[in-house]
């Protein structure tokens, strides 16, 4: 096993480098909301027709306000909740057909936001980390050796921490344990759902460094979910912007930060406090709270808060369209030639 020590072998890379590690197509999840006796049943459209790919070795950030469906997306990808519609392909394989759910668990793991709630308070840290490998057939002894090795990998001395309980350590240390637990099955994809959001800034930076190092060492791929744009920019290669359950824009991180195309992305970025006076934008930051996802606005869901909204935005839903060769995509009439929006680029400009 060489340098991997007692670590489990990751599941085989079947598709090669060109095959996206994760392909998500039309992912949809609606939650029914119980109405009164005389009122109609309603649904929360938590995730609506979301599509994207994650390439091997990259880090894809997902940003958006709270309630925009980021965490639901994470749980859908992990198959912790069942999707209503859509396809999720892992390394080109459909779960249930080409890949069993159990195998998928080996290939894909998740770190949760609440470091305390995501550790069983009755288990020692060692037991928590060793649980997964034992489920996958490792005997107790080697599972413990593996757990201690992983504690070491995440910067916690096993001889000090192995026998401790979650309440006895700090939030940052707990999140390291959660990372170790996620890595215990040698996954190739790790979903980090607001994994550093609850930490102090100084601790957050250390955990981010750790994540970067682990990524390099184990050749991991990350999906990094956060509402903190600074952190997303620091760690991500590409970014997905979600608004009320939909993807409104996606592209390489620098491209998005330099030339955000969707008014929502611009507003998010404008709302960030910037150190550089030249970078401060003139456009108004977001006003008000996001609308209720139980009853999202028709067509473009952002049109109720958009400074450029026109009648077309409330009647025709914009589709994700490619802007450039680098994969920058946006769902907005403003950027779609011939959309009917007065500020949309002309058809000619597109052809030329």
Partner 1 sequence: MSSVVGEITPQPAATEIATGARGYWSTVARRLSRDPVSVICAVILAAILASAIFAPWLGLADPYQGSMIRRLRVVGTPHYPLGTDELGRDMLARLIYGGRLSLLTGILPVCLAFITGTSLGIVAGYAGGKINTAVMRTIDVFYAFPSVLLAIAISGALGAGIVNSIVSLTIVFIPQITRVAESVTIAVRNRDFIDAARASGAGPLTIMRVHVLGNVLGPIFVYATGLVSVSMILASGLSFLGLGTRPPEPEWGLMLNTLRTAIYANPVVAALPGAMIFAVSICFNLLSDGLRSAMNIRD
Partner 2 sequence: MLVYIIRRVAYVVPIVICVALVCFLLVHLAPGDPLVAVLPADASQELAAQLRAAYGFDRPLPVQFGLWIWKVAHGDLGTSIATGRPVLSEVTRAVGNTVMLACAAATIGFSLGLFLGLVAGYFRDTWIDKVAAAIASTGLSVPYYWLGIVLVIIFSAQLNWLPAVGAGPGGSNAWSWDWAHLRYLVLPAITAAAVPMGIVTRTVRALTADILSQDFVEALRAKGLRERQVFRHVVRNAAPTALAVMGLQLGYMLGGSILTETVFSWPGTGLLLNSAIFQRDLPLLQGTILVLALFFVFLNLLVDVVQAAIDPRIARS
Enumerate binding residues for partner 2 (CB under 8 A): 36-38
Stretch of residues binding partner 1 (CB under 8 A), selected from 56-64, 172-180, 246-254, 333-341? 172-180
Write the DSSP string, 17-50: TTS-SEEEEEEEEEEEE---SSSPPEEEEEEEEE
- Residue 37 contact among partner 1, partner 2, none, beta carbon within 5 to 8 Å by kind: partner 2
Strand 221-225 relative to strand 189-193, pairing? parallel
| Residues near 282 by beta carbon (within 8 Å), at least 6 away in sequence | none
Comparing CB distances to partner 1, the nearer of 89 and 210 is 210
Q: Quote the least distance from Cβ 41 to partner 2, whole Å.
A: 14
* Helical spans, DSSP H, in 164-262: 171-183, 201-218, 229-235, 253-258
- In the numeric block, the tokens 């288990």 are attached to 123
> Considering the rule CB under 8 A, would residue 198 count as an interface residue with partner 1?
no
> Considering the rule CB under 8 A, would residue 235 count as an interface residue with partner 1?
no
In the DSSP assignment, the letter for residue 327 is -
In the DSSP assignment, the letter for residue 10 is P
Stretch of residues binding partner 1 (CB under 8 A), selected from 52-60, 82-90, 173-181, 310-318? 173-181
> Considering the rule CB under 8 A, would residue 80 count as an interface residue with partner 1?
yes
Stretch of residues binding partner 1 (CB under 8 A), selected from 176-184, 246-254, 290-298, 326-334? 176-184
Give the integer Cα–Cα distance in Å for 290 and 135: 41
Strand order in the sheet with 238-243: 108-111, 189-193, 221-225, 59-63, 238-243, 246-252, 329-330, 321-322
> What region does 15 belong to: left with phi over 0, alpha with psi -120 to 50, or beta?
alpha
The count of chain residues that interact with partner 1, using the rule CB under 8 A, is 44
Q: Quote the least distance from Cβ 24 to partner 2, whole Å.
A: 36
Comparing CB distances to partner 2, the nearer of 34 and 122 is 34
| Residues near 349 by beta carbon (within 8 Å), at least 6 away in sequence | 337
Kindly tell me which residue out of 123, 145, 272, 317 binds partner 1, with binding defined by CB under 8 A: 123
Stretch of residues binding partner 1 (CB under 8 A), selected from 74-82, 142-150, 277-285, 318-326? 74-82
Stretch of residues binding partner 1 (CB under 8 A), selected from 112-120, 243-251, 278-286, 326-334? 112-120
Strand order in the sheet with 85-90: 42-54, 22-33, 85-90, 93-94
Comparing CB distances to partner 1, the nearer of 210 and 309 is 210
> Considering the rule CB under 8 A, would residue 34 count as an interface residue with partner 1?
no
Q: Quote the least distance from Cβ 239 to partner 1, whole Å.
A: 24
Comparing CB distances to partner 1, the nearer of 25 and 206 is 206
Rounded-to-10 torsion of CA 48, 51, 55, 56: 50
Comparing CB distances to partner 1, the nearer of 66 and 120 is 120
Strand 329-330 relative to strand 246-252, pairing? antiparallel
Which residues make up the interface to partner 1 (CB under 8 A)? 75, 78, 80, 101-102, 105-106, 109-110, 112-114, 117-124, 128, 131-132, 135-136, 155, 163-165, 168-170, 172-173, 178, 181, 184-185, 203, 206-207, 209-210, 213
């Amino acid at each position: 096993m060489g340098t991997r020590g007692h670590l489990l072998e990751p599941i085989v890379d079947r598709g090669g480098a060109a095959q996206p590690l994760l392909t998500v197509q039309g992912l949809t999840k609606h939650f029914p909301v119980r109405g009164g006796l005389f009122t109609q049943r309603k649904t929360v459209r938590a995730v609506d027709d979301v599509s994207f790919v994650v390439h091997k070795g990259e880090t894809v950030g997902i940003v958006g306000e709270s309630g925009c469906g980021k965490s639901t997306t994470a749980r859908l990808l992990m198959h912790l909740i069942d999707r209503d519609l859509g396809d999720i392909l892992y390394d080109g394989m459909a779960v249930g057909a080409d890949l069993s759910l159990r195998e998928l668990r080996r290939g894909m793991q998740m770190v949760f936001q609440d470091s305390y709630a995501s550790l069983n308070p009755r288990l020692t840290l060692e037991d928590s980390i060793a649980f997964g490998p034992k489920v996958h057939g490792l005997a107790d002894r080697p599972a413990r050796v593996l757990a201690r090795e992983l504690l070491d990998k995440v910067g916690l001395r096993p001889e000090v921490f192995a026998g401790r309980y979650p309440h006895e350590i700090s939030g940052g240390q707990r999140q390291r344990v959660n990372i170790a637990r996620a890595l215990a099955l040698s996954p190739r994809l790790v979903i980090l759902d607001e994994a550093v959001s609850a930490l102090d800034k100084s601790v957050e930076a250390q955990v981010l460094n750790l994540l970067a190092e682990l990524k390099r060492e184990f050749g991991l791929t990350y999906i990094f979910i956060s509402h903190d744009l600074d952190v997303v920019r620091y760690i991500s290669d590409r970014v997905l912007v979600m608004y009320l359950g939909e993807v409104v824009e996606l592209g390489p991180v620098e491209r998005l930060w330099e030339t955000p195309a969707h008014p929502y992305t611009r507003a998010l970025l404008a709302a960030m406090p910037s150190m550089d006076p030249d970078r401060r934008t003139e456009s108004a930051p977001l006003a008000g709270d996001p609308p209720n996802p139980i009853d999202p606005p028709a067509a473009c869901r952002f049109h109720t808060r958009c400074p450029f909204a026109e009648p077309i935005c409330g009647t025709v839903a914009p589709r994700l369209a490619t802007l450039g060769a680098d994969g920058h995509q946006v769902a907005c009439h403003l950027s779609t030639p011939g959309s009917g929006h007065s500020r949309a680029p002309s058809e000619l400009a597109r052809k030329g």
